[in-house]
Amino acid sequence: MTWAAFWALIATLNGEATQASCERLAEELSRRSVPDIIGFAERHAEALYRLDQEKFGMLPVAGMTGRSGGPFPQSADGFLYARCAVVAAGQAVWEGVFFDIDKFAPYTSTERDGEWLLYVPDRAYELAAGKEWDRSTRYCFESYSNRDGWPSLGS
């Protein structure tokens, strides 16, 4: 799947990865070929992997403070869901955060959780093939997997 096709499908979310919008996307994707579903999963994983960078992951959760009143750090899952929310917001937002870290910060809010986007490829495959998908992608989208993006973690 081309990046253009991927972003066109993401645009159907209208900027948010809600349960309903992600189910609609999975249904749309399920009407395509299995190679297209796999291609979507690959692009999705790569988009998340590219966002897996220390400069984004070390941002505090928007609107939250710790007990001491200081910034509240993102958890690994929270950071993954924030990256999903950035992808769901569309190509312009996704590209823009690489040039301006402040554009990523609003997506760390628990109110902008993009978790539902994670399930789209698996749900589309299940709808298309009638069975669960035991899959892996070239890029791991889990938080802290992009070693180049986290130089402080070492190799």
- Tens of pLDDT, residues 71-105: 888 889 999 999 999 999 999 999 999 999 999 99
Beta strand pairing call for 71-73 and 60-65 = antiparallel
Residue 19 forms part of a structural domain: yes
pLDDT of amino acid 16: 95
Residue 10 reports pLDDT greater than 90: yes
Q: Taking a C-beta distance cutoff of 8 angstroms, is the pair 1, 40 a contact?
A: yes
Residue 2 reports pLDDT greater than 80: yes
The whole-chain average pLDDT of the chain stands at 93
Residue 154 reports pLDDT greater than 80: no
Q: Taking a C-beta distance cutoff of 8 angstroms, is the pair 74, 108 a contact?
A: yes
Residue 148 forms part of a structural domain: no
Residue 155 reports pLDDT greater than 60: no
Residue 110 reports pLDDT greater than 90: no
Residue 42 reports pLDDT greater than 90: yes
Residue 14 forms part of a structural domain: yes
Residue 151 forms part of a structural domain: no
Residue 149 forms part of a structural domain: no
From CA 8, how far away is CA 144, in angstroms rounded?
28
Number of domains in the chain: 1
pLDDT of amino acid 97: 97
From CA 17, how far away is CA 85, in angstroms rounded?
6
If you average pLDDT over residues 50-74, what whole number do you get? 87
Q: Taking a C-beta distance cutoff of 8 angstroms, is the pair 16, 88 a contact?
A: yes
Residue 150 forms part of a structural domain: no
- Model confidence pLDDT, tens digit, residues 119-149: 999 999 999 999 998 888 999 999 999 999 9
- What six digits make up the tokens of 7? 């972003």
Residue 68 reports pLDDT greater than 90: no
Residue 111 forms part of a structural domain: yes
Collapsing DSSP to helix, strand or coil, 70 comes out as coil
pLDDT of amino acid 8: 98
Query: What domain range includes position 73?
Result: 3-139
Residue 50 forms part of a structural domain: yes
pLDDT of amino acid 67: 81
| Cβ within 8 Å of residue 132, ≥6 positions away | 122, 125, 126
- Which has the higher per-residue pLDDT, 123 or 62? 123
